[in-house]
Structure 1
Amino acid sequence: MTKTPKKIGRPPMLTGKRIRIIKAKLTDEEFEALLEIQKATGLNRMELIRKRVLHGGSTVTINIKELLGTLDAIGAEMGRAGNNINQLARHANILNKQGNLTPEVIIEFNKLFTAYIRIQQELEKTLRQILRAMKST
C-alpha cells in the first residue's frame, strides 16, 4: 500500500482569491513617484496600489518598520530620562539628610520634573492618535 505524499505549502484559497489583473502605463516621472511612495510607506507595489485605488488617495499609510524603530528610540530615551530623574531624586535625598538641600534646587527640580511629565503626557496623546489612525485604515 503506497501513501499519497502530503502537499507542502499554503492550502489553496477558496474565497477572496485574486484572479483579476490590471495593467497601467506610467511615465518615468509617475513611476519614480510610485517608487518613492512605495519606499516611504514600506508597502509592496500591489499593496500600495490596492490601498490607494480601493480606499482613496487620502488614505494614511504608515511605514511600520520606521514607526517601530522610532518608537523604540523614544522608549529608550524615556528610560534614560527616568534613570536620570531617579539619580537626581537620590542625590536630593542625600543632600537633604546632610542638611545641604537648598530651596533653589527643589524649585528647579520640580520645574524640570513638571516639564518632563507634560512631555510624557503629550507623547502618550500622540501615540493614542497614531493607534487610532492605524485602526481606521
Structure 2
Amino acid sequence: MKNRKGNLKTVAHKQRTRRFELRLSEAERAQFLDLENALGLSRADIVRIRVLQHSKKMLVNTTEIMKLLDGIGTQIGRSGNNINQLARHANTLQQQGMLHSAIMRDLIPLLTEYVRLQRELEQSIRQLIRLIRGQT
C-alpha cells in the first residue's frame, strides 16, 4: 500500500487505525511546535516516544547539546594548552637549575587528577552520543 508521496507504508503504519486527540492551550501548542521543530520529529512520533516508550528513548535538542559539547571541547583544549605551557616553563626552570622538587611533588597529583577527570568526561560524552544516536 502506498501513501500520498508514493512510498510504501511500513507495517507498523498500516496497523495504526486509531486516532488520538489532544487539547492544548495556545502557549502549550506553541511550546509543542517549538519542540517539534527543534527535534525534527513529527508530533505523532513525539507523543508515541514519550507516552508509549516512556524513557526508553530520550527526546533531546541535539542542536543545543552539540553547542554545549563544542564549548566543553573548547575548554578541554584550553586546559591542554595551559598544561603544555606549565610543562614548557618547568623544562626551562630545570635547564636553569631553578626547578624545586616541591613544585613537581605538588604538580604530579594535580596532573593525575586532571587526566582522571578528562577520561571520565570522555566516557560521559560517549554515553551521551550513544543516547542521541538511539533517538533516531
Q: TM-score, normalised by structure 2?
A: 0.72
Tell me if the contact between 1:42 and 1:63 (Cα under 8 Å) persists in the aligned partners.
yes
- 2:22 alignment counterpart: 25
Between Structure 1 and Structure 2, whose CA radius of gyration is higher?
A: 1
SS of the equivalent of 2:90 reads helix
**Matches of 1:98 and 1:80 in 2, distance apart?**
27
1:110-129 superposed matches below 5 A: 110-129=108-127
SS of the equivalent of 1:79 reads helix
Identical positions, percent: 35
Instruction: Quote the RMSD (CA, aligned, Å).
Output: 3.3
User: Does residue 1:85 correspond to 2:83, yes or no?
Assistant: yes
User: Does residue 1:15 correspond to 2:9, yes or no?
Assistant: yes
1:38-49 superposed matches below 5 A: 39=35, 42-43=38-39, 44=41, 46=43, 47-49=45-47
Report the CA distance shift for 1:57/1:49 in structure 2 as closer, same or farther (over 3 A): same
Q: Cα offset for 1:45?
A: 5.3
Selected match of 2:99 from 98, 101, 104: 101
Tell me if the contact between 1:38 and 1:45 (Cα under 8 Å) persists in the aligned partners.
no
**Matches of 1:85 and 1:15 in 2, distance apart?**
56
Partner amino acid for 2:118?
Q
Deviation string, structure 1 residues 98-133 (Cα, Å, up to 9, x no partner): 000011211222122111101101101111221332
Task: Specify every segment of 5 or more residues in structure 1 that has no aligned partner in the other structure, as ranges.
Answer: 1-10
User: Does residue 1:56 correspond to 2:50, yes or no?
Assistant: no
**Matches of 2:105 and 2:82 in 1, distance apart?**
17
**Matches of 2:67 and 2:130 in 1, distance apart?**
19
Q: Cα offset for 1:23?
A: 4.8
Q: Cα offset for 1:76?
A: 0.4
Report the CA distance shift for 1:68/1:115 in structure 2 as closer, same or farther (over 3 A): same
Task: Specify every segment of 5 or more residues in structure 2 that has no aligned partner in the other structure, as ranges.
Answer: none
SS of the equivalent of 1:42 reads helix
Moved over 6 A (4+): 18-21
